[in-house]
């Protein structure tokens, strides 16, 4: 029988015991999966640790577990660190992109505003949206067997993400107007860390492309066809994992 996997917060692990209090997760355990006390499961903390566990108690408010042993860390995480900077898209498209990028092994996601971003969120809506993105990343990590959940950064403006310093990282940005630069050329120097920027619908402006290059990002074109932003985001992660990561 396939063991079900559940995310548990680090602060909810106490020695050989753990608790989940997320009402949605508990409802899923009780009403959808119909698990009961005594059933074996897998718990993971989102930071690289995974545990074989048994359900000891279930109620509508919480689920308690006995941790039998910490499982050996499996090779589910890519050796390649990919930070994906994403121009904000309409909700459903952005949600899909976060889900698929997580499945493909993304390390961090940095959403940003740029000139051609259409949805502009008020501060409280931005916080709510970030919580939603974090939940999507967590659910995707649980589904695909990952032990680490990608970090979702707060929404920033374009100039701020250009200034983020990821040490010893190859920096690229996707630009449909680039006539010469391709991905293989951009990755000619071996690297285990890549920061890739994907623009919003409409792409980057000329000025933004100039700013990105001034900040050390190399322009890359993904073939002759114009891809939707959500497609481009999925494709670049897949290609990076194929060329440098664990999809070879």
Average pLDDT, the chain: 90
* pLDDT score recorded for residue 119: 67
Please, what is the angle between helix 123-144 and helix 91-103, to 10°?
30
Take residue 122 and report the two structure tokens written for it: 């008020």
- Span 148-183, pLDDT tens digits: 899 999 999 999 999 998 888 999 999 988 888 789
DSSP codes, 156-200:
EEHHHHHT---TT-EEEEE-TT-SS--HHHHT-S--SEEEEEE--
* pLDDT score recorded for residue 3: 83
The side-by-side arrangement of strands in the sheet containing 63-70 is: 5-7, 40-44, 50-58, 63-70, 17-20, 13-14
CB-CB contact of 197 with 217 (8 Å): yes
| CA distance linking residue 173 with residue 236, whole number of Å | 10
* pLDDT score recorded for residue 1: 60
* pLDDT score recorded for residue 151: 95
* pLDDT score recorded for residue 147: 86
CB-CB contact of 109 with 149 (8 Å): no
Q: How many CB atoms lie within 10 A of CB 231?
A: 16
The pTM (predicted TM-score) of the whole model is: 0.82
| CA distance linking residue 159 with residue 72, whole number of Å | 41
Take residue 244 and report the two structure tokens written for it: 């440098």
* pLDDT score recorded for residue 72: 60
* pLDDT score recorded for residue 69: 76
CB-CB contact of 218 with 186 (8 Å): yes
DSSP codes, 38-66:
T-EEEEE-SBS-EEEEEEEEE-SS-EEEE
- Using CB atoms within 10 A of its CB, is residue 140 exposed (0-12), middle (13-18) or buried (19+)? buried
How far separated are the first and last CA of the chain, in Å rounded? 30
pLDDT string in tens for the chain (248-residue length): 678 889 888 889 988 899 999 888 899 899 899 999 999 998 988 888 888 899 999 998 899 999 987 766 566 789 999 999 999 988 899 999 999 999 999 999 999 999 888 767 777 888 889 999 999 999 999 888 888 899 999 999 999 999 998 888 999 999 988 888 789 889 988 899 999 999 998 889 999 999 999 999 999 999 888 899 999 999 999 999 999 999 88
Domains delineated in the chain: 5-70 (2.40.240.20), 81-244 (3.40.1280.10)
* pLDDT score recorded for residue 15: 86
23: DSSP letter: H
CB-CB contact of 76 with 50 (8 Å): no
């Amino acid at each position: 029988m396939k063991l079900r996997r559940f995310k548990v917060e680090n602060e909810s692990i106490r020695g050989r015991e753990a608790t989940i209090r997320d009402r949605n997760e508990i409802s899923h355990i009780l009403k959808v999966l119909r698990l009961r006390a005594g059933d074996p499961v897998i718990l993971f903390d989102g930071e690289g640790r995974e545990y074989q566990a048994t359900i000891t108690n279930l109620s509508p408010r919480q689920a308690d577990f006995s941790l039998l042993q910490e499982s050996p860390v499996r090779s589910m995480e890519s050796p390649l660190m990919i930070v994906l900077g994403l121009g904000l898209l309409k909700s459903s498209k952005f949600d899909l992109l976060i889900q698929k990028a997580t499945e493909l092994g993304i390390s961090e996601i940095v959403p940003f505003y740029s000139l051609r971003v259409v949805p502009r969120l008020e501060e409280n809506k931005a916080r709510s949206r970030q919580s939603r993105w974090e939940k999507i990343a967590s659910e995707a990590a649980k589904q695909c067997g990952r032990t680490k959940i990608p970090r979702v950064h707060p929404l920033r403006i374009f100039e701020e993400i250009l200034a983020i310093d990821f040490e010893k990282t190859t920096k690229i940005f996707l630009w449909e107007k680039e006539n010469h630069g391709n991905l293989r050329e951009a990755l000619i120097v071996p690297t285990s860390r890549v920061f890739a920027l994907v623009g919003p619908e409409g792409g980057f402006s000329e000025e933004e492309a100039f700013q990105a290059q001034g900040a050390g990002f190399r322009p890359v074109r993904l073939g002759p066809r114009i891809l939707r932003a959500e497609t481009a985001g999925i494709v670049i992660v897949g290609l990076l994992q194929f060329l440098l990561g664990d999809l070879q």
